Amino acid sequence: MIKPFTSIKLAAAALTLVAGQAAYAAQDIVDTAVGAGQFTTLVAAVKAAGLVETLKGPGPFTVFAPTDAAFAKLPAGTVDGLLKDPAKLRAILTYHVVAGKVMAKDVKTGEAKTVNGQTVALKAEGGKVMVNGANVVMADVAATNGVIHAIDAVILPK
């Protein structure tokens, strides 16, 4: 029979171990996108645009992240062309980022200012969220410095 005091010590040790694993598993926006497996093109673009350190920073950020399938919808050669033009790529990618951590349930229909200074149109209706007509296909992917909402299209600044 285990003494009550020993049981408390064992429970505390188990909780410490679990909390340590949870903290270890938490990742920033970039590493979360890498781990998700459906943002390979986005991650390559973030690297080419020189935005890795920014998106690994404290944030918080809300990233409307085009999936690989979203990038595949672009006309042939578009992605390759953008990867060779870091300034244009940076403008497009920062158009997908809003300062602050906004969970899908908190999105309201209206406009939000992106970190590139322009606004995006948000629509929240019937539990679905859209940004500039792109559908959020996976919401609330948590990161230590914000949240990712996967979208089904690349949105372009005006």
In this prediction, residue 15 carries a pLDDT of 41
In this prediction, residue 4 carries a pLDDT of 47
Is residue 60 reached through a cis peptide bond, with omega within 30 degrees of 0 on the bond before it? yes
Q: Which two tokens stand for residue 24?
A: 């270890």
The 10s digit of each residue's pLDDT in 63-114 is: 999 999 999 999 999 999 999 999 999 999 999 999 999 999 999 999 999 9
Average pLDDT over residues 42-47: 96
Q: How many other CB atoms are found less than 10 A from the CB of residue 95?
A: 23
**Given pLDDT bands bounded at 50, 70 and 90, which one contains residue 124?**
very high
Measured on CA atoms in the order 74, 80, 81, 87, is the torsion positive or negative? Answer: positive
**Given pLDDT bands bounded at 50, 70 and 90, which one contains residue 8?**
very low
Q: Where are the alpha helices (DSSP H) in the chain?
A: 4-25, 29-36, 40-48, 52-55, 68-72, 78-83, 86-94
Q: How far out from the chain centre does Cα 145 lie?
A: 9
In this prediction, residue 26 carries a pLDDT of 81
Domain ranges of the chain: 27-151
> What value does the mean pLDDT of the chain take?
87
**What CATH homologous superfamily does 27-151 map to?**
FAS1 domain (2.30.180.10)
61-66 vs 146-151, strand pairing mode: parallel
How distant, in Å, are the alpha carbons of 6, 99, 122 from that of 54? 47, 12, 24
